[in-house]
């Protein structure tokens, strides 16, 4: 679970600035927790960590943050399963910035690649894991940490 870290905090602040109810570590099922969820305020959350099986709430966007685990299919597919269990309109798997140096070290061929090339390799790999293997029941996209920060900046939210 992504506790308090810069990317998690930024996603929380962005959701609040967009006028969503925001919760961290939301129970999507008995064994699945989602890092950050934005809820429609018309059906108020009412508690810090709602249990989706019992809460009459509407999750709009959900975020699973892969800080150091984005290179592992098992972790990514687990995050997709969590997002599917939650049932938000949009699921986002966020790739932590630390993933690029890890990918660069993974094989010799990656050592000379620039960050944009590595991002494309990782994004292609993740979409294959997500859509060909995990087969989510909801819309899931992949964003890099820098993209989330850029998105928040473009919407005028403070860091």
pLDDT of residue 51: 77
Give the C-alpha separation, 8 to 11, whole Å. Answer: 5
pLDDT of residue 146: 92
**pLDDT tens series, the chain, 159 aa:** 445 688 999 999 999 999 999 999 999 888 889 999 999 998 877 766 777 778 888 999 999 998 877 778 888 889 999 999 999 999 999 998 888 888 888 877 878 888 899 889 889 988 999 888 888 888 999 999 999 999 988 987 655
DSSP-derived secondary structure letter, 65? E
Give the C-alpha separation, 55 to 71, whole Å. Answer: 33
- How many domains does the chain contain in total? 1
CA angle 12, 78, 10 (to 5 degrees): 15
pLDDT of residue 158: 56
Q: Is residue 1 part of a domain?
A: no
Q: Is residue 123 part of a domain?
A: yes
Token code pair at residue 71: 């290179």
* Domain that includes residue 148, residue range: 6-154
Give the C-alpha separation, 76 to 124, whole Å. Answer: 13
Q: Is residue 75 part of a domain?
A: yes
């Amino acid at each position: 679970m992504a506790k308090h870290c810069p990317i998690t905090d930024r996603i929380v602040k962005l959701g609040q600035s967009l006028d969503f109810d925001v919760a961290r570590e939301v129970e999507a099922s008995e064994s699945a927790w989602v890092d950050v969820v934005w809820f429609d305020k018309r059906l108020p959350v009412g508690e810090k960590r709602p249990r989706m099986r019992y809460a009459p709430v509407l999750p709009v966007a959900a975020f699973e943050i892969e800080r150091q685990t984005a290179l592992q299919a098992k972790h990514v597919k687990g995050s997709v399963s969590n997002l599917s269990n939650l049932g938000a309109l949009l699921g986002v798997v966020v790739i932590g910035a630390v993933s690029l140096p890890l990918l660069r070290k993974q094989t010799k061929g990656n050592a000379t690649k620039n960050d944009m090339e590595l991002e494309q390799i990782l994004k292609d790999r993740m979409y294959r894991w997500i859509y060909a293997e995990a087969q989510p029941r909801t819309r899931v996209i992949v964003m890099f940490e820098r993209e989330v920060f850029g998105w928040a900046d473009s919407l005028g939210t403070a860091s």
